Amino acid sequence: MTGPTYKIVIVGAGPVGLAVGALLAASRACERLQISIIDAGTAPHWETEQLDLRVYALSRASQQILDAAGAWRAIAGQRMSPYRRMQIWEGATWRHSGKLQFDSVAVGEPDLGAIVEDSLIRSALSSVIEANPRIEIRRSTTVADVQVRDGCIELLTASAEQGVTANLLVAADGAQSAVRKRMDFKALERDYQQQAIVAHIESEAKHAATAWQRFLPGGPLAFLPLADGRSSIVWSLPNAEAAALMETDAPQFERALGHASGGVLGALRLSSRRVSLPLRAQHALSYCQPRVALAGDAAHTVHPLAGQGMNLGLQDAWSLAQAIEAAVLSGQDPGDLRVLRRYERARKAENLAMLAAFDGIDRLFRAPRALAPLRLGGLNFVDRLPLLKRQLILRALGLSNQVERKRSDRWSQYGTLA
């Protein structure tokens, strides 16, 4: 392939940044790209004997994106936990409540998604990248300065006297993105005044490949099924309540968790350390400037109540890689603002819609108790509408615009991903 070669620098080596790099390396434009990834941390280490505390619920579309990046086969061959059902409820007990039940059988899919560890995703993507001579990863490196020059962008790293010059900088460095702040991208924020407590638990009842979520006055409590039979909890609580629970001993925490869960999984036992994370929604007013694009949490964060944050980020990675590939193949500079606007148009509306939806759900279920009958009735009403539930499942899988695709279609046909 002839033509100029373009340098792409990706800041951030989480799943989104690594996915952008791997997708570009697998693209038809790869021969005209030089790709560098700047990682503030060290190489990921996935442990075969111990489950990572940080896990994601990956949709079918996200699995397809990781497959296109060359990583899904390794992930699926190591450790993941497909979940086939999801049970959502509000009320005193599961049997006497407003509830909404989803089952993969309703859409002819083997499951609703898969629970996968953060370290496994990063390890698999890193292995793909390290085997490709067209990509380099600079570990333990931070960006000290960024300057847009005529026709290029220059980064100065904290460990190098000489700058790194590129045609495009992709900021995938997380919710507290240093690049976003340095380049003065404006963002809207909402502090939920909540903390999410994350831990792994053992339960008396088997999780049966089912994800559970209960809406409580202080925030939702979710149980995600893990490959070793345990469950990962994500318990959103007001700051003061979360701080108090983080200070309790294991038996006290287990009793509080059992009460909050309504006993759906029987007796519970804490089997890992606990961590708490502040919850904020954030959305950049623009995703791009000349020579700079934001992706993943650097561009947007959402409430974890639906577990869609990583799925949105991987969709960003896919759309950005497509925009860059199309530009290079047509002779355009991938750092040109017109090129980056195509990526922004492809993702911004959907990300905003999802943020607004999750924010609205959070407000609704934290509203005064007087609205409880309306919420319970609404859940039960939707549960009795199979066609609507089918569309909601397809949307969550990332397959909502693939309904007419034949079952024989291969995953390699990625052009119509939702």
CATH number at residue 12: 3.50.50.60
Domain count, the chain: 1
What integer pLDDT is reported at residue 376 of this predicted model?
60
Q: Which helix (H) or strand (E) holds 83?
A: strand 81-83
Residue 197: strand pairing partners: 235, 276
User: Residue 197 falls within a domain, yes or no?
Assistant: no
Q: What is the DSSP string of 187-253?
A: EEEEEEEEEEEEEEEEESS--TTEEEEEEETTEEEEEEE-TTS-EEEEEEEEHHHHHHHHHS-HHHH
Domain that holds residue 124: 6-81+115-188+280-363
Nearest of 118, 160, 171 to residue 138 by alpha carbon: 160
Dist CA 297 CA 315 (whole Å): 12
Q: Which helix (H) or strand (E) holds 387?
A: helix 386-397
Dist CA 303 CA 281 (whole Å): 6
User: Residue 160 falls within a domain, yes or no?
Assistant: yes
User: Residue 107 falls within a domain, yes or no?
Assistant: no
User: Residue 239 falls within a domain, yes or no?
Assistant: no
219-225/231-238 β-pairing: antiparallel
Dist CA 309 CA 351 (whole Å): 10
What integer pLDDT is reported at residue 97 of this predicted model?
67
**φ, ψ of residue 251 in degrees (nearest 5):** -60, -40
User: Residue 236 falls within a domain, yes or no?
Assistant: no
Nearest of 350, 317, 28 to residue 171 by alpha carbon: 317
What integer pLDDT is reported at residue 377 of this predicted model?
60
Q: Which residue has the tokens 């490959």?
A: 227
User: Residue 330 falls within a domain, yes or no?
Assistant: yes
Angle at 248 between CA 359 and CA 207, to 5 degrees: 60
Q: Averaged in consecutive runs of 10 residues, what is the pLDDT profile of the chain (418 residues)? A: 86 98 96 95 92 95 96 95 91 66 89 96 97 92 91 87 88 96 95 96 97 90 96 97 97 97 95 96 96 98 85 97 97 96 96 85 64 60 67 74 36 34
Assign 114 to helix, strand or coil.
Answer: strand
Dist CA 332 CA 53 (whole Å): 43
User: Residue 300 falls within a domain, yes or no?
Assistant: yes
Residue 36: strand pairing partners: 9, 136
Amino acid found at 221: L
Going by the DSSP 8-state scheme, the letter that residue 314 receives in this structure is: H
Dist CA 416 CA 73 (whole Å): 21
Dist CA 287 CA 300 (whole Å): 9
The answer to whether 158 touches 144, Cβ cutoff 8 Å, is yes
First CA to last CA across the chain, in angstroms? Answer: 30
What integer pLDDT is reported at residue 313 of this predicted model?
97
User: Residue 327 falls within a domain, yes or no?
Assistant: yes
Q: Which residue has the tokens 């026709």?
A: 151
Dist CA 109 CA 88 (whole Å): 20
Angle at 231 between CA 317 and CA 237, to 5 degrees: 80
